[in-house]
């Protein structure tokens, strides 16, 4: 997941060395760790709560000063440099602070700093809304768009100007002034609600205490990690704890209860917040002249309108249902055999992972615990680095003793021909109050500043198993795939060559942003790639070919069921934003129950409120469909590697130059066509799931 923290900023936008316009700001910034010399890393170790507060204040004051400079330009003197480039520079400076503070709000171990960061991103979110509704700024850009220079623009500059004007008008500048004030109130409220929604999910803590009998089936290293002083086991809702328990515990009762707890994450607070979010989004869309919020959101994406998304979801559902029926029948047979009961004809959601694992072991002879022994986390990191460096012509160099926010965090420089071109951080292991999933957090975007290029910087935040005193950290293959996925986002952000922040890295259409991450998952499956790092943690033996053959044979086990689940998520999101009345009698949970029972083979679990913990409803509002949408493109593009060789460096460089470096400097569909050398199609995707 690309962690999108930018709310509804004007255009697309991201990071630069701050240039301050008052002595006070300049003096303060020199002492504040959020502000560094050009392309120098931040010293995260020394950051305090007061630094967060001060950095927020300085960033806003500097932005206001920058805007005054833009406003002061005479309408007859406007040009790209003093209007559009200055606008991009202003956002770049402001977002630099916002992005880093947003990261720390989810990962910093200090409660006080983390809470102050949440306060700051709330304040900054409101300020971004204020900018987006600035009539002076709109008039400045609109005035420039009427000049002869503006009318003669081409390439990325023309695209930037066009999209900036369109975004202003999507932000209400077709509205009377009093209506724009009403819109700002709605946007500010949505900013607050969204931050609360995500914070409630990330800070939510619950666990299940289970007995020795209920951890039967779990590996010894898992039991050691979660055993409590009284001889029981405390199973949390974090992935390294939750996922193996659901997969291996023989206790149906315990799995059912843990599933119930997981699906009730943040339900005590977020049900009401979600309802308010949906109400405010609907009000915003109607105010702007759109029938639904989904219509507003899809307008500037590859899909263009909700109708195309509904067709995509509906047609895909039809195509994969037959495969899902086969998958479900396989699980039924396994459950009948396990329970010794031929009358069984259903699988519950909390049973699916358990019987899927048995199916893999018995029918496909794939033992995930044995497979895990070949994926020690440091070997995986080394292999991931080797593959990326080879394909894209890069070198990664670790910074020793980096100034990071937690001792687990590592920092790396990205080099090409000995020149540093980017920097990234790895924060891979779980800890209390840390963001609970896996995501790439942008920090400093790529951007040309005069004759120099600003180094893109980003972080990978994950929650993989951590080594203990007796056992190294061993990753499930699913975790390896997740790691490759997030690293794909990272490379998209870091390898950008965009002149402008607005078009840099992952600042692309939301239904395209998952393509570079999903294509990179394929290297976690290919044997030539796996041989580089899949080594037994004790013997250093390379993953045996026979075990890899079983991996491949089992790859599409459950692929139909999985795809239907993704269609359910996308349809739920789209329904909330296109065909649902949040003020009506039907609750958000009623919609979950109805759609889950209609689309998937796993029936709704009573007394659960999944939507309260479905964080994508905030960040991906009316956009969750983009995972499958982008997957179709990514599989089509990976077919080029299948033809030329998965480790073919020439094709890797072409992917880098044609796709990763471009950001949104060109239309995303044209980028896809250029890489493919043809029109895109669905055949590669359907083949990839066994159809």
Q: Are strands 2-3 and 439-444 parallel, antiparallel or unpaired?
A: parallel
Strands (E), 227-371: 233-236
Fold of 377-556+627-688: 1.10.1370
Residue 305, pLDDT score: 96
Query: How many C-beta atoms surround the C-beta of residue 54 within 10 A?
Result: 17
How would you class 408 by CB atoms within 10 Å of its CB: exposed for 0-12, middle for 13-18, buried for 19 or more? middle
The stretches in the chain having pLDDT less than 50 are 4-24
Cα angle at 495 between 399 and 438, to 5 degrees? Answer: 70
Residue 31, pLDDT score: 87
Give the HSE-up count for residue 525: Cα atoms under 13 Å, Cβ half-sphere.
19
User: By the 8 A CB rule, do 464 and 489 touch?
Assistant: no
Q: Where in the chain is the domain with CATH 1.20.1050.40?
A: 2-174
Residues 250, 338: Cα–Cα separation, whole Å:
11
Q: Which residues lie below 8 Å from residue 469, measured CB to CB, with a gap of 6+?
A: none
Cα angle at 538 between 536 and 542, to 5 degrees? Answer: 25
Q: Virtual CA dihedral for 169, 171, 177, 178, nearest 10 degrees?
A: 150
Residue 373, pLDDT score: 96
User: By the 8 A CB rule, do 684 and 636 touch?
Assistant: yes
Query: How many C-beta atoms surround the C-beta of residue 615 within 10 A?
Result: 23
112 is catalytic: no
Residue 14, pLDDT score: 27
Backbone angles phi, psi at 540, to 5 degrees: 70, 10
Residue 15, pLDDT score: 24
Residue 29, pLDDT score: 60
For residue 502, which of 187, 46, 141, 75 has the smallest C-alpha distance? 141
Q: What is the pLDDT of residues 526-544, one digit of tens each?
A: 999 999 999 999 999 999 9
For residue 520, which of 669, 682, 655, 688 has the smallest C-alpha distance? 655
If you ran DSSP here, which 8-state letter would residue 136 be given?
H
- Give whole-number Cα distances, 469 to 7, 334, 473, in Å: 43, 37, 10
For residue 52, which of 118, 125, 3, 126 has the smallest C-alpha distance? 118
For residue 28, which of 3, 5, 51 has the smallest C-alpha distance? 51
Fold of 2-174: Glutathione S-transferase Yfyf (Class Pi); Chain A, domain 2 (1.20.1050)
* Structure tokens that stand for 125 in this block: 């979110």
Q: Where in the chain is the domain with CATH 1.10.1370.40?
A: 377-556+627-688
Residues 231, 214: Cα–Cα separation, whole Å:
12
Residues 385, 405: Cα–Cα separation, whole Å:
23
Residue 44, pLDDT score: 97
Three-state SS for 505? coil
Query: How many C-beta atoms surround the C-beta of residue 679 within 10 A?
Result: 9
Q: What is the pLDDT of residues 337-356, one digit of tens each?
A: 999 999 999 999 999 999 99
Three-state SS for 529? helix
Label each residue of 342-368 as H, E or C.
Answer: CCCCCCCHHHHHHHHHHHHHHCCCCCH
For residue 564, which of 486, 484, 628 has the smallest C-alpha distance? 628
Catalytic residue (one of 99, 280, 486, 668): 486
Query: How many C-beta atoms surround the C-beta of residue 550 within 10 A?
Result: 19
């Amino acid at each position: 997941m690309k962690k999108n923290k930018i709310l509804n900023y004007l255009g697309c936008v991201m990071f630069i060395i701050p240039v301050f316009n008052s002595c006070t700001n300049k003096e303060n910034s020199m002492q504040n760790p959020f502000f560094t010399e050009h392309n120098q890393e931040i010293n995260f170790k020394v950051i305090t709560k007061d630094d967060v507060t001060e950095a927020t204040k300085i960033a806003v004051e500097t932005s206001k000063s920058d805007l005054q400079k833009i406003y002061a330009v005479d309408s007859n003197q406007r040009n790209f440099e003093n209007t559009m480039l200055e606008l991009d520079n202003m956002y770049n400076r402001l977002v630099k602070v916002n992005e880093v503070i947003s990261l720390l709000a989810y990962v910093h171990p200090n409660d006080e700093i983390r809470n102050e960061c949440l306060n700051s991103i709330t304040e900054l979110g409101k300020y971004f809304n204020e900018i987006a509704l600035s009539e002076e700024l709109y008039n400045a850009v609109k005035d420039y768009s009427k000049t002869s220079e503006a009318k003669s623009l081409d390439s990325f500059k023309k695209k930037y100007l066009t999209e900036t004007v369109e975004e202003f008008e999507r932000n209400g500048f077709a509205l009377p002034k009093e209506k724009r004030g009403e819109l700002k109130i709605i946007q500010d409220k949505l900013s607050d609600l969204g931050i609360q929604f995500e914070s409630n999910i990330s800070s939510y803590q619950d666990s299940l205490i289970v007995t020795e009998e209920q951890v039967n089936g779990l590996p010894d290293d898992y039991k050691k990690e979660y055993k409590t002083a009284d001889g029981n086991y405390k199973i949390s809702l974090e992935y390294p704890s939750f996922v193996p328990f659901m997969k291996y515990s023989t206790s149906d009762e315990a799995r059912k209860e843990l599933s119930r707890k997981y699906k009730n994450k943040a339900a005590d607070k977020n049900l009401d917040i979600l309802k308010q979010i949906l109400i405010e989004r609907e009000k915003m869309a109607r105010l702007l002249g759109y029938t639904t919020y989904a219509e507003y959101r899809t307008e500037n994406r590859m899909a263009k309108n909700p109708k195309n998304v509904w067709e995509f979801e509906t047609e895909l559902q039809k195509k994969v249902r037959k495969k899902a029926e086969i998958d479900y029948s396989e699980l039924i047979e396994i459950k009948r055999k396990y329970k010794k009961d031929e009358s069984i004809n259903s699988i519950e959601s909390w049973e699916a992972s358990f019987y899927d694992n048995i199916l893999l072991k018995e029918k496909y002879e794939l033992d995930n615990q044995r497979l895990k022994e070949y994926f020690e986390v440091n070997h995986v990191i080394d292999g991931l680095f080797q593959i990326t460096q080879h394909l894209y012509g890069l070198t990664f160099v670790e910074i020793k003793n980096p100034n990071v926010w937690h001792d687990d965090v590592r920092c790396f420089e990205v080099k090409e021909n000995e020149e540093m071109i980017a920097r990234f951080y790895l924060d891979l292991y779980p800890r209390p109050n840390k963001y609970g999933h896996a995501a790439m957090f942008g920090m400093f975007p790529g951007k040309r500043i005069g004759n120099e290029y600003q180094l893109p910087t980003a972080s990978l935040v994950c929650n993989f198993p951590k080594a203990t005193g007796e056992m190294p950290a061993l990753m499930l293959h699913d975790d390896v795939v997740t790691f490759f996925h997030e690293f794909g986002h990272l490379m998209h952000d870091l390898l950008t060559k965009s002149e402008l922040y607005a078009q840099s890295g992952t600042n692309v259409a939301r239904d395209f942003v998952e393509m570079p991450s999903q294509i990179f998952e394929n290297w976690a499956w290919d044997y030539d790639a796996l041989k580089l790092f899949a080594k037994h943690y004790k013997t250093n033996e390379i993953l045996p070919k026979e075990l890899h053959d079983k991996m491949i044979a089992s790859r599409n086990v459950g692929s139909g069921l999985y795809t239907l689940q993704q269609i359910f998520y996308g349809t739920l999101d789209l329904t909330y934003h296109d065909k649902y009345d949040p003020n009506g009698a039907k609750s958000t949970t009623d919609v979950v129950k109805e759609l889950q029972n209609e689309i998937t083979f796993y029936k709704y679990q009573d007394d659960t409120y999944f939507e309260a913990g479905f964080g994508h409803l905030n960040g991906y509002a009316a956009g969750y469909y983009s995972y499958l949408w982008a997957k179709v493109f990514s599989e089509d593009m990976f077919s080029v590697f299948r033809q030329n060789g998965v480790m073919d460096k020439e094709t890797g460089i072409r992917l880098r130059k044609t796709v990763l470096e471009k950001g949104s400097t060109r239309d995303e569909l044209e980028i896809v066509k250029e890489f493919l050398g043809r029109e895109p199609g669905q055949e590669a995707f359907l083949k990839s799931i066994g159809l």
